[in-house]
Structure 1
C-alpha cells in the first residue's frame, strides 16, 4: 500500500493573551471536518501532535502545555447581532480526546483579531484608524463576547506598548467584554449550581484533615471551583514548579476537582472527571502577600487584592486562564464567596490578583435582582498577535 500523502490546510498560528493556538476558517477545513465528530477531532489531534505518550507533542504544533494545545474554528455568524461564530477545542496532550466543553478566554482575544484578518468581518465595519468592535458568538458555551480591536491603516494593529504579565513582549491592547458570563437559572447551569456562595465538600481525610473543605462553586466564564489555599496546605504564592513537580499534589487537586465537579452536577461519578479535563477548573485563593513572579519581578502585597493559583488540564497554569479570570472577577464582586473574602470582603467591581507570572486586573458588574446575583458583564484587557500563517500539513489518512 502506498503511503498516504500529506495534505495542506490554510491555518494561522496565533498568540492570544497567555495562550497559543492554531486558527482555521470553517470553510477552509476538509468537508468531513466542518461538522462536529470524530473526523474533526482526529484532524485537530494530528495538527497539534496528540495523543503523545511522551507528552511533548514533537510531531505537531502543540507546545506540550494546556496553554499551547488548542485549536479554533471561526466562521461568519449565523446568530443575529453577531459577526462571527467562535468554536474552541482543547486538545489533550497524552490522552485520546478533544474537550469541547468550555471556552478559552485568552484565545477569545485572538478570535476578534483573526476575524478581521481572515476577512470574516464586513470591510465597511472596519475603520481606517480606530477600534473595530467584533461581536463574537462563543459557540461552546452559547455566550456573547465583544472584542474591541485596534486598527491602524485598515489593518489590525498588533504592536504596541501594552504589557501583559506572562507574555514576554508588549503588544496592542484588546479589550474584551464577556456579556452575561454567568447563568441566572437553577441547577447545574446556574451561576451557583448549589445555590450557595460557599459550600462544604466532603473530601478524603488524607487530603484535608477532618474531611471537610469549604469551596465556592461558580459558573461564570467557565465552571470553577475555588478553595482557600491555607485549607489545603498552601500559601497562594506558589510558583508553577512547586505544584507541577509534585505528582502527589497534582493527584490531590485532581481528586478535589472531581469532587467539586460532581457537586456542581457536571459529572455523574468520579471517573467522569478524566473525560472532562477542560472543565471545571480548580483554583486556590489567599489574601495578598509578597512573592516573586516567574520573571523574577517582585509582586508586593500592597499592589494586589488577592492571590490566585489555578490549574488547567491537570497542571498549574503559568499565569491565568482568561475564562478563569472571568470567574475570579465575578466571584470577587459577590459578597461572601471565598474569592470575595480573600480580597477583603465587601462590594467591588474590579480586583487585581496575583498569579505565578505577575498580576492582572479584571472587572465585573454584579447586582442582586429578586434575591439572586446577576452579572451583566466582565471586562479585561489582553493582546494578540499572528505568529505564523499559511498552511498546516497533516497526513491524508489521519482523520
Structure 2
C-alpha cells in the first residue's frame, strides 16, 4: 500500500508569558489553510496532535494543557495604523475542535517579536536599539494591542532579568497595552449589573460579576463555592466532580452573558467565557514552593481554562481582573478591599502578577481606556512542522 509523504510547514515554537504555542506566517501555510474553515482547523489539530484520547499530545506539538495547545497565525496588517494581524486558535485536547472565540493574552507577548523577526513590520518602525512599539490588530476580538519589544543591535532582545511567576527562567520584559479591552459590541457588564445572582443547580444561588474585558469572564466568591482562593492545580484538577460543577457554572453564566442561548452550547465554546473565583488576601505557598505573603497581594484569584484550573493566570483574564478591580462594587473589587484603585496585585497558583487598568463611567455605561501588564517571550525552536498530507 502506497502512502503519501508528510508535508512540512515553516513554523516557530514560542513561549509567550506562561503559555507556549506554534506560530505561523499566514503565507507559509498551505493555500487551502490560508482561509478560515474546516481544512485549516484540521491542519492545526494535526500539528498540535489533537484529538488525543490519551490526553498526552504525544503525536504532535501540543503539551496536553490549555496553556500549551495553542496556535497563532500572523500576517502583515491590511489595516491603516497597524503592523500585524494576530489570529489565535485554542486547540481542544480531546475533541476535534479549534476555538476562535477569544484571544490569548500570554502569547500576545510573543507576537511583536515574531512579527519583527519574520519581516511583517516595516523596518523604519523598528529601532536598532531601544523599544519597538508594535501595533497589533487582534483579529479574534477586533481589538488593538501595543507590544513594547526591546531591541539590541537590530535584533529582538529575548534575554534579560525580568522574572514572571509561572515561568522558570528570567527573560526580557515585554510591556503589553490592551487598548479599549472591553467588547465594543457589548456592554462591559452585559447584564447591566456589577453583581448578579446566578442560579446553578450544583451551587444554588450565588453572586457573580460578569464582565467583557480582555476576555468574557465570570467571577464568583471562592467561599460561595467551597474554596479559599489558595488552591493549586491538583486541589481541583484531580476532582472530576468539581470540574463538572465548574463547567455547569460556566455554561449557566455564558447564557446569562448572552454568549450562548442554551447551556448545551457551551461544549462548542470551550475557550470563553472564563470562570474565576476570588478571595481576600491570605498567605499561601505557590506551586514552586515560593511563599506568598498576604501583605504582598491585594486579592486572591484562581481561574479555569479549557476545563482545568490554570497553573498561573491567562493574560486576558488578568485584563478582566484588573478592570473589575478598578470598579467599586464588583466582587473582585470587594475582595481587594473595596477601595478606588488603578492597579491590583493578585495571587495566583504560581505566584503574583500586577495589572493596571482604569475604568470610567460614561452615563450608565462603564468604559475602559486600556489595561497594562508586563510579560516576557522567547523563541524555543524554529524550523518546520511535519504533518501527513491532507
TM-score range, shorter chain: over 0.9
Q: Is the CA contact 1:226–1:339 (under 8 Å) kept in the aligned structure 2?
A: yes
Partner of 2:164: 164
Partner of 2:311: 318
1:245-265: CA deviation from partner (whole Å, max 9, x where unpaired): 111110111100000000001
Matches within 5 A, 1:227-376: 227-376=220-369
Aligned equivalents of 2:228, 2:364: Cα separation in 1: 34
Q: Which runs of no fewer than 5 residues in structure 2 stay unpaired?
A: none
Q: Is the CA contact 2:14–2:110 (under 8 Å) kept in the aligned structure 1?
A: yes
Aligned equivalents of 2:84, 2:119: Cα separation in 1: 11
Aligned equivalents of 2:14, 2:217: Cα separation in 1: 26
Q: Is the CA contact 2:188–2:365 (under 8 Å) kept in the aligned structure 1?
A: no
Q: Is the CA contact 2:148–2:176 (under 8 Å) kept in the aligned structure 1?
A: yes
SS in 2 for 1:68: coil
Aligned equivalents of 1:79, 1:347: Cα separation in 2: 37
Aligned equivalents of 1:311, 1:6: Cα separation in 2: 36
SS in 2 for 1:380: strand
Report the aligned-residue RMSD: 0.8
Matches within 5 A, 1:103-118: 103-118=103-118
Q: Is the CA contact 2:9–2:386 (under 8 Å) kept in the aligned structure 1?
A: yes
Question: By how many angstroms is 1:371 displaced?
Answer: 2.9
Q: Is the CA contact 1:49–1:60 (under 8 Å) kept in the aligned structure 2?
A: yes
Aligned equivalents of 1:103, 1:172: Cα separation in 2: 22
Partner of 1:191: 188
Partner of 1:63: 63
Aligned equivalents of 2:51, 2:364: Cα separation in 1: 47
Question: By how many angstroms is 1:184 displaced?
Answer: 5.5
Aligned equivalents of 1:21, 1:13: Cα separation in 2: 6
Q: Is the CA contact 1:184–1:374 (under 8 Å) kept in the aligned structure 2?
A: no
Q: Is the CA contact 2:187–2:365 (under 8 Å) kept in the aligned structure 1?
A: no
Aligned equivalents of 2:96, 2:371: Cα separation in 1: 33
Aligned equivalents of 2:2, 2:332: Cα separation in 1: 59
Partner of 2:43: 43
Question: By how many angstroms is 1:101 displaced?
Answer: 0.2
SS in 2 for 1:150: strand
1:312-371: CA deviation from partner (whole Å, max 9, x where unpaired): 000000000000000000000111000010000121100000000000000001111223
Q: TM-score, normalised by structure 1?
A: 0.97
Aligned equivalents of 2:261, 2:2: Cα separation in 1: 46
Aligned equivalents of 1:13, 1:159: Cα separation in 2: 17
Aligned equivalents of 2:356, 2:88: Cα separation in 1: 24
Question: By how many angstroms is 1:51 displaced?
Answer: 0.5
Question: By how many angstroms is 1:268 displaced?
Answer: 1.1
Matches within 5 A, 1:84-163: 84-163=84-163
Aligned equivalents of 1:64, 1:218: Cα separation in 2: 28
SS in 1 for 2:67: helix
Q: Which runs of no fewer than 5 residues in structure 1 stay unpaired?
A: none
Q: Is the CA contact 1:133–1:147 (under 8 Å) kept in the aligned structure 2?
A: yes
Q: TM-score, normalised by structure 2?
A: 0.99
2:199 pairs with 199, 202, 220, which one? 202
Aligned equivalents of 1:389, 1:321: Cα separation in 2: 25
The range that moved more, 1-10 or 158-167, is 1-10
Extract structure 1 runs of 4+ deviating beyond 2 A: none
Q: Is the CA contact 1:184–1:372 (under 8 Å) kept in the aligned structure 2?
A: no
SS in 1 for 2:235: helix
Number of residue pairs the alignment of both structures matches:
390
Question: By how many angstroms is 1:292 displaced?
Answer: 0.1
Question: By how many angstroms is 1:183 displaced?
Answer: 3.3
Q: Is the CA contact 2:191–2:257 (under 8 Å) kept in the aligned structure 1?
A: yes
Q: Is the CA contact 1:158–1:171 (under 8 Å) kept in the aligned structure 2?
A: yes
SS in 2 for 1:162: coil
Q: Is the CA contact 2:86–2:136 (under 8 Å) kept in the aligned structure 1?
A: yes
